[in-house]
Every structure is written in structure tokens, then in C-alpha cells.
Structure 1
Amino acid sequence: MNLSPIKKVRVYEQVIEQIKDLIEQGVIQPGQKLPSERDLAAELSVSRSVVREAMSVLNTSGIIQIRPGIGVFLMEEEEQGLIHRINRILNKDEVNLSEVLELRQGLEVQAAFLAAQRATEKDLQLIEAALKELEQAVYKKKLAAEEDFAFHLAIIRASKNAMIQEMMNLLTEAIQSGMKKSRRRTLQMPKKPEEVVNEHFEIFQAIRDKDGQTARELMLIHLDNVIKRSYLVQ
């Protein structure tokens, strides 16, 4: 028999699928406000935490914009572009982690260099805040994958390069998956979690000091170490 593997569907993915249907039907259009978290939870018969998880994924993928105190809005861009991104979330095939990390090197090394040149005081505050959250999570023996991603994303945004941000949005799920795998390995290695925090601190320091070349070099070293910690390079 020629059977295909059954894909495990998470509940939040079903919420995303329903939102995709509303976009395709024209019920929700680009730039328009989505129903509230409470209304979506009631309409879909799921918990508000599930809706919140779906919104988090859509937000990091650049599909929606969360405006605190106002609501959640679909991004203002072509409908087909939004549908394409949602399809990537729902139907993403198994990725080659080593290739994702190699691509991250190309994007994030340059982003660190640009961030050192272009970061505003607000950007630096956001990077530093993400760094502190990462440090706290590491010393609490948490996996800290989300905190790690938030730090790198803050640098990407500080680069002020829309194309790099777009590429990171498209790779969000693959990158987060890779970070979880890498950090699980790191937790098993004595003193490695502390070394990881130090790597991040040095990158932040170089960006804060507007030393683009050092920021570039430190990011490359860090991502090389990520590959090693993931056992992708022996």
C-alpha cells in the first residue's frame, strides 16, 4: 500500500485555518480588525489561550499586527501574500535544519552589522530587555527558546532592513524549531547555557557601541556555535 503519514494538527492551527477561510471568503480583508480574542474563542469553541497562541504565531509570521488596547488587525498587503504565509505555517514540510542555520548566518550576520549602525535608543532598549529575559530564563533552567528568538528578532528589527525582516518572518517556524532543538542539547552540556548568554551579551555590547564589524563577527561565531551545539557539525 502507498499511504502518506498523517500530519498531527495542533488546535491553534485549526484556528489559523479558520482565519484563512475568512480571508479567502473576503469576510476579513487586509487592514481590517479581527474579532476579539473572547469572540473568536466562543465562536470556535476553544479556550482563549488557544486563540492567543494562534495570534502569537500569526503575529511573528507578519500576518497580523497586534495594537495594544485597540485590537488585532490583518496586515495591509495583497490577500494572496497573506494566504501564502498562512499556508507555510499550516503545510510546512520538514526542513533541513543545517540549511536553515546557514541561511540565518547570511541574514543575521548582516543584520547585526546594520543594527550597530542604525539602532535607535528604543531599539537598544528592546534588545537589552530581550537579553535580560533570556538570561533570567537560562538561570531558571528553562528551555528559553522563545526568549532566544525574541533577542534575535529585536536585532533584525533594529537593522531597519525590511527584506531581512520579511525573510525572518517566513522562516519563523523553522527557526524556532531549530532553536528548541539546539537549546535542548545545550541544557545537557555543563556550563554551556551560561556561555550562550555571554555570546548574546557580547553581540548586544558591540551593537550598543556601534561597532558593526565586531557585531558581525560575534554573530557569525555565535551561529557557528549554534550549529555545533545542534550536533550538525562534529
Structure 2
Amino acid sequence: MPFQRIQPEKLSHSVERQIELLLLRGILRPGERLPAERDLAEKLGVSRPSLREALANLQNRGLLTARAGAGVYVEELLDSAFSDTLVQLFAAHDEALFDYVSFRRDMEGMTAERAARHGSDTDLKVVDTVFKRMEAAHQKRDPMEEAKLDAEFHLSIVEASHNIIMLHMMRAMFNLLHEGVFYNRQIIFRNPAIRNDLLAQHKCINDALQARDAAGARHAAEAHMDFVDQFLSDMKRSQKNEDIARLRFQHAQQAR
């Protein structure tokens, strides 16, 4: 007969599995500090030795890291899908920039469509809350805050799509922007006209999501990334023209 005796599971294994799922679902985020040992053991209803065993196993697997005198943290590298060497290669070539934007266009459209269909009411409330914070930051004309909330808005949509592969891939994508691999996001938000356009585009995405208009959400997200692509293309062209103009100016000055 194909039956096997049921083995009781160790408490440490139950703890380990619960933390695994929180990491997998993106609820615990890279760099986030776990509660103090006493508090966490109490929350989980387990002994501190069982908790320590679970945390040690997760650290050995590279999911958590202990910092002397500071506690246990989610491993930072969990939001990095690329080696440092590859990231440096990306940064050196414009081709990678526009392929990045193209990839994000496809992913943003897909996640917005999924969020409209599969996101819970609470998911969509989170997206709407982030958008309202974007509106407030827009009024303050704070490029740094607007750039931060821009990433938070898009990631909240990815979370609402309820696809863990998309979630971790997009977190890795936004981590590249956070590190300034391709361009400084704040540049976009320093242009008053562009800022207004971006806010209007984010409003279109949010409105479609709140209405659970899947096709509309996808179209709005793709249109937004098309706008970003055009802006970056124009910016690169302007930079190239400026470089050529400086060479001409230098040459003219030397010819006098």
C-alpha cells in the first residue's frame, strides 16, 4: 500500500516555512529587520530555541542575515537578479537602457492587467493610497520624493497582480533604477511639464485599476512606458547634440 506514517513536524520547521512564505510573497522585504527574538517567539507561539534553530537554517540558506548587535534582517541580495559584472555592463551601454524600458513596458502592462483582475479590494486601496501620496508630493515639487513614490506605485501594482515571479523580477528591475544603473530618475521629475504628464499618466493607470478595467489598465501602463521611452530617447539625443556642439565651439575657439 502507498501509505506512509505521518511524522509530526518540528516547530522549527514550521517557523522556517512560515518565514519562507513571507519572503516568497514579498511581504518581508530585502533589508527589513525581523522583530526581536523574544517578540518574534511570542508572536509565533514557539520557544526561543525552536526560533533560533529556524533562523539559523534560514541564515545558512542565505535568506536572512544576522548583524552583530542589530538583529536579524532579510538578506539585501534577494532583490538583485544580476551579478555586479552584468550590472556594470548594463550601465555602459544605451542599448541595455532601451531594452530595459521595453521589458518594463511589457511587464508593467501585464501586471496592471492582472492587478485589475486578481487584486483584492485591499490591494487596490493600497495602490490608490500611494497615488494620493504622489499627488501630495507633486504639489510640494519634491523630485526625490516623487521618484521614490513612482517606484512604490508601480511595485504596489505588481504586488496586486499576485504573481510571485513577476514580483521578485520587478523588484530586481527597480533595484537597478534605485542604484542609478541606467539613469537618475529624479531628472524626469525636475521638468515641470514632464512632471504634470507623468502624474496624469499615473492617474489614468490608477483610475483603470479602481474601475477594474483590465484592458484599460494595461493600455494606460504601456502608454506610460512609451512616454518614458520617448523622453529618454530625446534626452540621449540632446546630450549627444550638446557634446557635438561643444566640440565645434572648442574648435572655433582654437581657430581664432
The interval holding the TM-score normalised by the smaller chain is 0.5 to 0.7
Hey, what's the Cα distance between the residues in 1 that align with 2:116 and 2:169? 20
Deviations 1:159-213 (A, max 9, x none): 011111021122232133379634413423x422112111101101111111111
2:61 aligned residue (66, 73, 79): 79
When residues 86 and 210 of structure 1 are mapped into structure 2, their CA distance, relative to the original with a 3 A threshold, is closer
Q: Which runs of 5+ in 1 are unaligned?
A: 1-29, 34-58
* TM-score between the two structures when normalised by the length of structure 2: 0.57
Deviations 1:53-105 (A, max 9, x none): xxxxxx8994455567967x899698267686477688342523222111111
* TM-score between the two structures when normalised by the length of structure 1: 0.62
Question: After alignment, is 112-121 or 85-94 more displaced?
Answer: 85-94
When residues 211 and 68 of structure 1 are mapped into structure 2, their CA distance, relative to the original with a 3 A threshold, is farther
Hey, what's the Cα distance between the residues in 2 that align with 1:193 and 1:75? 47
When residues 136 and 159 of structure 1 are mapped into structure 2, their CA distance, relative to the original with a 3 A threshold, is same
Does the Cα contact within 8 Å between 1:64 and 1:74 map onto a contact in 2?
Answer: no
Which secondary structure state, in structure 2, belongs to the residue aligned with residue 157 of structure 1?
Answer: helix
Corresponding residue number in structure 2 for 1:193:
195
**What's the Cα RMSD here?**
3.8
Corresponding residue number in structure 1 for 2:153:
151
Instruction: State the one-letter code of the partner of 2:161.
Output: S
Hey, what's the Cα distance between the residues in 2 that align with 1:108 and 1:179? 18
Which secondary structure state, in structure 2, belongs to the residue aligned with residue 191 of structure 1?
Answer: helix
Corresponding residue number in structure 2 for 1:229:
231
Hey, what's the Cα distance between the residues in 2 that align with 1:129 and 1:90? 34
Matches within 5 A, 1:38-187: 62-63=29-30, 65=32, 79=61, 85=78, 91=84, 92-95=87-90, 96-143=96-143, 144-176=146-178, 177=180, 181-187=184-190
Higher helix share: 2
Q: Which runs of 5+ in 2 are unaligned?
A: 1-15, 20-25, 41-54, 64-74, 91-95, 238-256
When residues 90 and 210 of structure 1 are mapped into structure 2, their CA distance, relative to the original with a 3 A threshold, is same
Which secondary structure state, in structure 2, belongs to the residue aligned with residue 231 of structure 1?
Answer: helix
Does the Cα contact within 8 Å between 1:186 and 1:192 map onto a contact in 2?
Answer: yes
Identity of aligned residues (%): 20
Instruction: State the one-letter code of the partner of 2:137.
Output: A
| Count of matched residue positions in the alignment of Structure 1 and Structure 2 | 178
Question: After alignment, is 165-174 or 120-129 more displaced?
Answer: 165-174
Hey, what's the Cα distance between the residues in 1 that align with 2:57 and 2:31? 5
Deviations 1:23-79 (A, max 9, x none): xxxxxxx7899xxxxxxxxxxxxxxxxxxxxxxxxx8994455567967x8996982
